[in-house]
Amino acid sequence: MIAILCRYGELFLKGGNRHIFLRTLVDNVRALVRGLPGAKVSAPHGRVIVSVPDEARVEACSRLERVFGLVSISPAASVPADIEAICAAAVVEAQAAVARDPALARSFKIEAHRSDKLFPLQSHAIACRAGDAVALATKIPVDVHQPALRVGIEVATGGAHVFAERRPAPGGLPVGVSGRALLLLSGGIDSPVAGWLAAKRGLDLEALTFHSPPFTGEKSKDKVISLARHLARWQAVSTLWVAPFTEAQKRLREAGPAELAVVLYRRMMVRVADRLCQRAACGAIVTGENLGQVASQTLTNMRNIEVASGHLILRPLLTYDKVETTALARRLGTYEISALPYEDCCSLFVPAHPATAARLSDVERAEANLDVAKEADQIAEQAERIVL
């Protein structure tokens, strides 16, 4: 068995509520490693520790790197709280790290921490003893200022953990501690990234997409499902709603001037989202909107869209430029899916010159030609629910 040390960051700042955040984090970790044979999760002071068989190390680390609330993880050797065993483990971990990456052989440093104050050696003495052992066995020079390799030692009550690898995790807050929200998810680049950022701040998300057959085919729908499933690997989205939008989109296009179409579409979308928020007990709507990126994303148009909703609308990407959003999408692994050449309903029936500063009175006059509340009710009722 190996132990994977999971470090959390912001949770330390939560004062009297820290136990709630930590309990949610541990539950999320357990959910993500469920199915790995022999996996066990514990939460000693300041750490979450996942114990798995050696053969599950790679898969367990891959999963834990996607847990919001964790800032880094380290697969570690678990040894008795004995200095000889600690030194031997430090040598093995250093040699294994250099075998994975020979460039680390330039220099090393031992970083020791003793939380068990009954252990006979203090942290500095532990580091010196282990450093001597590693230097003798590997011939790697010591550099305490800018080492290429850092070997960590944590001595706690009942045992010690030794590691030479630190993998980044996303940080943020555990999914679920900030409540629930509904993500408006399209097949584009922006909305999956917005959902990921919302989950990073602790929101438990369901997602809603709009499908307009026959103008958008099954591949467009499958593309959004693939994005939702990818976000589910981060525990960011649990359910996807697929709402039919064809007939409503046609009626909205005919209800008023062509330049208002985009604003009319978006207002209907947030109305449908309102209905599903009530059904799914979500307290907010999350969108991938970005200030000034397209015609519907001016201050005036976003305000006109927002007043049609009864819920708070969150826009994690509001100040991002496209380069920043695309870079994050590549990092998350959603870009390759978003780049597939299948358009969604947001690109349908868009006029050549959409209004960038629509007047609310004009928008409401166009909507007066329809029973928009009834339209929204029908779309929400017909939405297909996909559990991810």
pLDDT confidence of residue 345: 64
Count other Cβ atoms within 10 Å, centred on residue 45. Answer: 7
Any idea of the CA torsion for 211, 217, 221, 224, to the nearest 10 degrees?
-100
3 confidence band (pLDDT: 50, 70, 90):
very high
- Identify the pLDDT of residue 354: 86
**pLDDT tens digits, residue range 216-258?**
889 999 999 999 999 999 999 999 999 999 999 999 989 989 8
Model confidence pLDDT, tens digit, residues 287-307? 999 988 887 889 999 999 999
> Mean pLDDT across the stretch 375-386?
97
Both tokens assigned to 34? 């469920």
Whether the CB-CB separation of 385 and 241 falls below 8 Å is answered with yes
Q: What is the CA radius of gyration of the chain?
A: 26
DSSP-assigned states of every residue in 88-141: HHHHHHHHHHHHH-GGGGG-EEEEEEE--TTSSS-HHHHHHHHHHHHHHHH-PP
pLDDT of residue 295: 76
pLDDT digits (tens, 9 = 90+) for 165-180: 999 999 999 999 999 9
Residue 217: what pLDDT?
83
What is the Cα–Cα distance from 306 to 323, expressed in whole angstroms?
26
Instruction: Tell me which residue of 88, 118, 340 sits closest to 222, measured CA to CA.
Output: 340
pLDDT class for 353, splitting at 50, 70, 90? Answer: confident
Residue 153 has pLDDT above 70, yes or no: yes
pLDDT band per the 50, 70, 90 thresholds, residue 346 = low
Determine the number of helices (DSSP H) and then strands (DSSP E) in the chain: 13, 14
CA dihedral 54, 59, 61, 62 (to 10 degrees): 160
Residue 341: pLDDT band by 50, 70, 90 thresholds? confident
Across the range 26-43, mean pLDDT stands at: 95
Ordered by where they begin, the domains of the chain are: 2-168 (3.30.2130.30), 179-387 (3.40.50.620)
How high does pLDDT run on average in the chain?
94
Task: Give burial (CB, 10 Å; 0-12/13-18/19+) of 190.
Answer: buried
Residue range 305-316: mean pLDDT, rounded: 97
Two structure tokens written together for 105? 């052989």
Look at residue 348 in the predicted model and tell me its pLDDT.
60
3-state helix, strand, coil in the chain (%, to 5): 45, 20, 35
pLDDT value of residue 347: 61
Sign of CA dihedral 61, 62, 64, 65: positive
What is the residue-wise DSSP string for 269-319?
A: HHHHHHHHHHHHT--EEE----TTSSGGGSHHHHHHHHTT-SSEEE-TTTT
The secondary element (H helix, E strand) that includes residue 332 is helix 322-332
Q: Which of 4, 26, 24, 22 is nearest to 13 (CA)?
A: 22
pTM comes to 0.92
Q: How high is the pLDDT of residue 278?
A: 97
Report the relative pairing of strands 70-79 and 167-168 from DSSP bridges: antiparallel
pLDDT for the residue numbered 355: 87
What value does the mean pLDDT take over residues 88-111?
98
- Name the DSSP letter for residue 56: G
Q: Which pair of structure tokens corresponds to residue 137?
A: 């066995």
